[in-house]
Structure 1
Amino acid sequence: MEDEDTLRGKYLIFTMGNELYGMEIRYITEIISIQPITEVPEMPEYVKGITNLRGKIIPVMDARLRFKKAVREYDGRTCIIVIDTIGTSIGLIVDSVAEVLTMNDEDITTLPEMGKGGHKYIKGIGKTGGNINLLLDCQKLLTGDELDMLGAMA
C-alpha cells in the first residue's frame, strides 16, 4: 500500500510519431531496448511475437499497430516497455521514452466525446507544460480474449 502512494500520479511519457502518451508507472516493470522477437503464427498483426527476458518468455506487441498508426522502422530510440496488467507481463514497443512526470488530478481531464469507439484505451488527457499527453488505461489495452491468448504464449 505504501508503494502505491509513492507511485500515485506518476506517469511514464513516451512517443509514437508526434504524439505523447503516458501510462501509470505502477504498471511498468521495466524499459528495455528492442530485443530479438520470435514470430508466432496466427497472431493479430499488432502482436509481433515473443521475446526471452532473462529466462521469462513475454509476448510483445507493437503499440503503433495496436493503435492503427503507420508502420515505422525500429531505430536506436525504439524500446519495449514491459508492463504487468491483470497478472500478465506484456512488452509494448514504442518509438521512444521521454520522461516520468507527476500529474495531479487537476492536470488530468477526460477525453471529449468524439463518436463511437476510437478511444477505449485512453483513460484521460494529461496537460503538462503546454503539452497534451494521452494517458493509456493499461487495464484496457487488451480484451479478456487477447489476454488469454497472450497469456498462453508465455
Structure 2
Amino acid sequence: MTDLRNVIVFAAGGVRQAMELRWVREVATLGFVTLVPTAPPGLVGVCNLHGTILPVLDAGLLTVGQAGAPARQGDGALILQLDGVATALRVDQVDEVVSAHSDGEVVVDGRGRRLPLVDPDQLLRRLHAPGPGPGPGPAGGPPP
C-alpha cells in the first residue's frame, strides 16, 4: 500500500531524490562557508544563515556516496530541523515540491518517475558512522 506524501525533489550527487516537506524549514542560498578541519566526511563546513551558525552537510556524499565540489557561497541548500538542530543540507539543485505516492523508501512523482526518499535520521547516522565515509547505497539507506 502507498501513502501520499508532500515532498521536495532535489538533485545531489547526480541523483534526483526526494525528502518529506515536514523536515524542511526553508530552501536557501548558502552564505560564506567556513571549513572545519577535523570534521567528519559529510560535514563540509559551517555558515551563517539569518544570524545563526549552521552545520553544512553534503547531501551527495551522505545519500549516494558521491561527494560534490567543496561547499561555497551561493550553493543551494535545504534547511532542515534534525534532532532539534537547524542544519543546512547542500544540494546541487531543487526541482519541485509535489504530492507523491510513497512506499516508505521510494516516491513516484506525477510523471511516474521513481525517486529515492531520503530519511533525515539516516543522514545523521551516516555522518557519525566510523570509517572513511559513507559508501554507495540507496539514498538515505544503508550501503548494499
Provide structure 1 residue ranges, at least 5 long, that are not aligned to the other structure.
1-7, 110-122, 147-154
Provide structure 2 residue ranges, at least 5 long, that are not aligned to the other structure.
129-144
Task: Give the Cα separation in 1 of the matches to 2:41 and 2:126.
Answer: 18
- 1:139 deviation in Å? 2.2
- Seen in structure 2, the aligned counterparts of structure 1 residues 71 and 11 have a Cα distance that, compared at 3 Å, is same
Compute the TM-score of the two structures, normalised by the length of structure 1.
0.69
Rg larger for? 1
In structure 1, the residue corresponding to 2:60 is in which secondary structure? helix
Of 95, 98, 108 in structure 2, the residue corresponding to residue 127 of structure 1 is 108
- Seen in structure 2, the aligned counterparts of structure 1 residues 77 and 50 have a Cα distance that, compared at 3 Å, is closer
Task: Give the Cα separation in 2 of the matches to 1:81 and 1:130.
Answer: 24
Residues 1-154 of structure 1 aligned to structure 2 (within 5 Å): 9-66=5-62, 67-72=64-69, 78-103=75-100, 107-109=101-103, 123-128=104-109, 129-143=111-125, 146=128
Over residues 42-85 of structure 1, what are the superposed CA-to-partner deviations in whole Å (9 max), with x where a residue is unaligned?
10132111111111111001111223115347799840111001
Counterpart AA for 1:139: D
Residue-pair matches, total: 123
Task: Give the Cα separation in 1 of the matches to 2:105 and 2:17.
Answer: 10
Q: Which has the higher helix share?
A: 1
Task: Give the Cα separation in 1 of the matches to 2:74 and 2:54.
Answer: 21
Q: Which residue of 2 aligns with 1:116?
A: none
RMSD: 2.6
- Seen in structure 2, the aligned counterparts of structure 1 residues 74 and 125 have a Cα distance that, compared at 3 Å, is same
Counterpart AA for 2:120: C
Q: Tell me if structure 1 keeps the 8 A contact 2:8–2:21.
A: yes
Counterpart AA for 1:27: W
Tell which has more relative contact order, 1 or 2 (C-alpha 8 A, sep 6+).
2
Q: Tell me if structure 1 keeps the 8 A contact 2:33–2:72.
A: no
Compute the TM-score of the two structures, normalised by the length of structure 2.
0.74
